[in-house]
Chain A
Amino acid sequence: MAVQDVLPSRKGSSGFSALNDQRVRGVIFQVLLIVAIVSFAWWIIHNTAANLRAQGIGFGFGILRDSAGFQINQTLIDYQETSSYVRVYFVGLLNTLLVSFIGVILATIIGFIVGISRLSKNWVVAKAAYVYIEVLRNIPLLLQIFIWYFAVLRLLPAKRDAIDLGPFGLLNIAGWYAPNPVLGRGFALVAAAFIIGIVATFVLRAWARRRQMATGQIFPLFRVALALIIGLPLVAYFVAGFAFANPPFSLEYPTPGNFGPRGGLRVFPEFIGLLMALSFYTASFIAEIVRAGILAVPNGQTEASYSLGLRPGHTLRLVVIPQAMRVIIPPLTSQYLNLTKNSSLAVAIAYPDLVSVFAGTALNQTGRAVEFILITMATYLTISLVTSLFMNWYNRSVALVER
């Protein structure tokens, strides 16, 4: 055995002294822990099953194929009352991912702006950021969701009259009825041009970098990228429009109906309220993380950068932020996870997220709490792990490389 190979002097010693060996004890305790965990898990499962049987409650995932029978207002995929609970799950999951994804982006943008403002030399800007952070992070999120939702509602006109936003559609208490994009036959061409534009920009960027390293010449990348990403699809648009004799892309506008506008791309006030609350709340934490990250970069770095002749904007963007990022990213990951999990408060304001429609309505219609909660927990766990993995990967890619 390995222990004896390493410690030949112990050979032939009694069992009692083997117990004194730290490594042997370590192994024993790990085995005991695993046995304890496995038996605890077995006990939980066995007990649950016994209780369910005793109370005459069924168990099984077959019920997921039954038709749901209720409606959901916001669905990113096709959904009818006759759809199955499996589809309810995906509708809820996509709604959760939608609000979380946009929320993470918004919170990051707001958080960075506020965090950097907090360190501004301008007294008013710094204090405004300070007040923002202290107020928002100290009010419970559920309350903020209500404030945002009902504030959003109160501001807007009644259902049957709407603010006309012209090219941006109509706005009333039941939401924003944006123009709905209708794709024509030539749209594939425009999309292809757009992708080519993006790929070309990346190739160009790599080339420009190499050239700058070699010769020191700066290539006007931004303007050329703009031309590639916007100009190229625009040319494709006209070519496709001419070739197929109808525009590859047009907008369908909402029209007034007896119960408010009809048609158009609907953005629900529940979504807006939840998104705003989540983004602004999480941003207040991100702002503090950003501030901490920037303060963690030694001032000498800034001074050195100034003495090289870099302007403050460049210093922040090229010297300070990249070094701050390695401090910022790990806690930032936690905030992203928090935002995603907090989106489950959606049920309070009728946003149909995963918890609301799947662990809520569907669970209640079937009464199968154990199955539905298991699936929901596994889903949140998966979302969290994937986010975490992605952020860890990103963290490694920006981490300081020690030479």
Chain B
Amino acid sequence: MKKSIVPLVAGAALAVTAVSASAATLDDVKAKGSVQCGVSQGLPGFSNPDSQGNWTGLDVDTCKAIAAAIFGNGDAAKFTPLSAKERFTALQSGEVDVLTRNTTWTMSRDTDLGLNFTGVNYYDGQGFMVPKDLGVSSALELSGASVCTNTGTTTELNVADYFRSHDMDYEVVAFEKADEVVAAYDAGRCDVYTTDQSGLYAQKLKLTNPDDHVILPEIISKEPLGPAVRQGDDQWFNVVKWTLFALINAEELGVTQDNVDEMKNSDNPSIKRLLGTEGSFGESIGLDKDWAVNAIKAVGNYGEMFNRNVGPDTELGIERGLNKLWSDGGLQYAPPVR
């Protein structure tokens, strides 16, 4: 009964505990001295524990930035690995304070699930991976294929839409944990592995012979991935939202992990406002004036975070693509601090 009971327990917890958890999350977080983040159970580049149990990745860094903005220290971030199926109940029930777990922002989740998405830390899209010896070069040649994926994701719906709209047959084999999807795909149970492209790059590393597999060019969906918090707590929503925006603004303004201290002396008013030497933007979200400085010191700006975890020089080797700043032709755009 290992995993299947979790929604039940979380559901029961939701029934009993949620009143205290639904408001004033920031006070709760400050009182307990750490931020509890829901992350994936092991997705290289996004959130993955190493042999010492230290978590690394883009989503992990997002959480560390939030912790640093509040406590001045990125180590105040704690992680709860969650399956796709468990994640929303865990957040709703107050088991975690924020979900930094490659979660697609959709309308129903934003409205009917009682969540608020705070922005996008990775623009993604769903793709397909196939063994090279299948001789397939386009997803349109996949009629009749069996497709391995995770349960409880938008992936299952997108793949259904895609195959249906192209009038192709398929068979879905849906596992609860990503590790089992990889194992089954590796064993040859399925012809195709489908999930967000970032996930494909990450999971490919876990295959016996990663070079024998190829990711097809088609991207069949929009998957804006970002942190989510519970609805009804505007203060906490603002903290998480503006921490992410601060990291993106920092990249745009050329503030990095190394130069953040000297940048405090900058004459640029935008930088001054971001780094708390002008105005009181930290106070307005219930934090110190150094909130952004601390966040940047902990994890660097958005570009540094991207390059360190998933960028071209890492094992995953993902190009910035859509995740470039708006000023470089990408989609990453943060409202100004003013």
**Contact (Cβ within 8 A) B112 A359:** no
Chain B residues positioned under 8 Å from A69 (CB to CB): 157, 160-161
Give which listed residue, A70, A150, A355, contacts B187 with CB less than 8 A: A150
- Pair A81/B176 contact, Cβ less than 8 Å: no
Q: Is the interface of B mostly helix, strand, loop or mixed?
A: mixed
Q: Which of A43-51, A324-332, A388-396 has 4 or more CB atoms under 8 Å from chain B?
A: A43-51
Known pairs A56-B114, A73-B173; A174 contacts B146 (CB<8 A): yes
Residue contact A56 to B231, C-beta cutoff 8 Å: yes
A96 to B207, CA, bound (A): 32
Complex-state Cα separation, A50 to B176, whole angstroms: 31
Whether B183 and A150, one on each chain, are in contact in the complex, defined by CB atoms closer than 8 angstroms, is yes
Residues in chain A near residue B232, CB distance under 8 A: 54-56
Q: Closest chain B residue to A172 by CB distance? A: B188
User: A341: which B residues are within 8 A, CB to CB?
Assistant: 1
Q: Which residues of A contact B188 (CB under 8 A)?
A: 153, 158-159, 173
Q: Which of A184-192, A211-219, A257-265 contacts B (4 or more CB under 8 A)?
A: A257-265
On chain A, the number of residues with a Cβ less than 8 Å from chain B's Cβ atoms is: 55
Q: How large is the interface on B (under 10, 10 to 19, 20 to 34, 35 or more residues)?
A: 35 or more
Task: Bits for A151-172, please: 1 = Cβ < 8 Å to B, else 0.
Answer: 0011000110000000000000
Pick out which of these stretches binds chain A: B15-23, B60-68, B302-310: B15-23
Contact residues of B between 91 and 123, Cβ < 8 Å to A: 92, 108-109, 111-114
Does A73 lie within 8 Å of B2, measured CB to CB? no
Partner of A153, one of B159, B175, B184: B184
What residue of chain A has the Cβ atom nearest to residue B231's Cβ? Answer: A56
B243 at the binding interface (Cβ < 8 Å): no
Give Cα A256 to B326, complex, Å.
Answer: 51
* Residues of the A chain whose Cβ atoms lie less than 8 Å from the Cβ of B161: 69
Using A81-B160, A369-B7 as known contacts, say yes or no to A57 and B113 having CB atoms under 8 A apart.
Answer: yes
A349–B173 alpha-carbon span in the complex (Å): 9
A:117-143 near B, CB below 8 Å: 142
Tell me which residues across on chain A come within 8 A of B10, comparing CB atoms: 369
Query: Which residues of A does B touch, CB under 8 Å?
Result: 44, 47-48, 50-52, 54-58, 69-73, 81, 142, 150, 153-154, 158-159, 173-174, 257-260, 262, 269-270, 341-342, 344-345, 347-350, 352, 355-356, 359-361, 363-367, 369-370, 373, 377
4 smallest CB-CB distances across A and B, nearest first, come from A364-B152, A55-B114, A367-B113, A51-B18
B-to-A contact residues, CB < 8 Å: 1-4, 7-8, 10-11, 14-16, 18-19, 22, 84-85, 88-89, 92, 108-109, 111-114, 142-146, 148, 151-153, 156-157, 159-161, 164, 170-177, 180, 183-184, 187-189, 191, 230-232
